[in-house]
């Protein structure tokens, strides 16, 4: 199986730049998209041989995830099943016969780290619980835009980025917990 994860930063713009042609030439089994920023009815996209499932955000033009796959999933689960997390379309799970595929667009801690507490103490913990629950049933492949630079080597200027969203000690430690799990 070949899987591609891609933060498209607006699927409509990505389509205008040749997304459909890329998929048809690339022929991966599964494409996990983050930050689609659109509702299904706003997108004209024909991908013969593929099934597309969506979890758009309630707020128009904001976040959202999608999965495009050669084989139709047995089941699709939008979100984590928790109202406090599920309005932004940040998680989409596709169940296949032998595994789950989860695409995630983790919330950014934002300027002034306004969402750091939510990210570290709610989102990351609840996302990990969700994935661990799925793992009890069958293997899980999760991918996406996790909005964290895990180690100093992941940035050109780690010292000047300390305490910036995506590179706080708290986010990195929280991501360590996910990796260790």
Give catalytic residues, as residue numbers: 105, 145
Q: Name the residue among 82, 53, 57 with its Cα closest to residue 69.
A: 53
Q: Are strands 3-7 and 30-34 parallel, antiparallel or unpaired?
A: parallel
Edge-to-edge strand order for the sheet containing 91-95? 75-78, 91-95, 100-105, 140-145
SS3 43: coil
Give 86's DSSP letter.
T
């Amino acid at each position: 199986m070949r899987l591609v994860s891609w933060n498209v930063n607006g699927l409509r713009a990505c389509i205008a730049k040749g997304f459909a042609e890329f998929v048809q030439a690339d022929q991966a089994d599964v494409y996990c998209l983050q930050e689609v920023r659109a509702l299904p009815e706003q997108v004209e996209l024909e991908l013969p041989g593929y099934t597309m499932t969506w979890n758009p955000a309630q707020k128009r033009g904001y976040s959202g995830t999608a999965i495009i796959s050669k084989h139709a999933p047995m089941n699709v689960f939008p979100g984590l099943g928790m109202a406090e997390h599920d309005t932004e379309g940040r998680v989409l799970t596709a169940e296949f016969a032998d595994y789950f595929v989860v695409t995630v667009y983790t919330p950014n801690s934002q300027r002034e780290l306004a969402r750091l507490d939510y990210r570290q103490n709610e989102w990351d913990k609840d996302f990990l619980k969700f994935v661990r629950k799925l793992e009890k049933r069958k293997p899980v492949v999760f991918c996406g835009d996790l909005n964290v630079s895990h180690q100093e080597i992941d940035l050109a200027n780690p010292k000047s980025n300390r305490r910036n969203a995506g590179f706080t000690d708290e986010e990195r430690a929280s991501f360590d917990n996910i990796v260790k799990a």
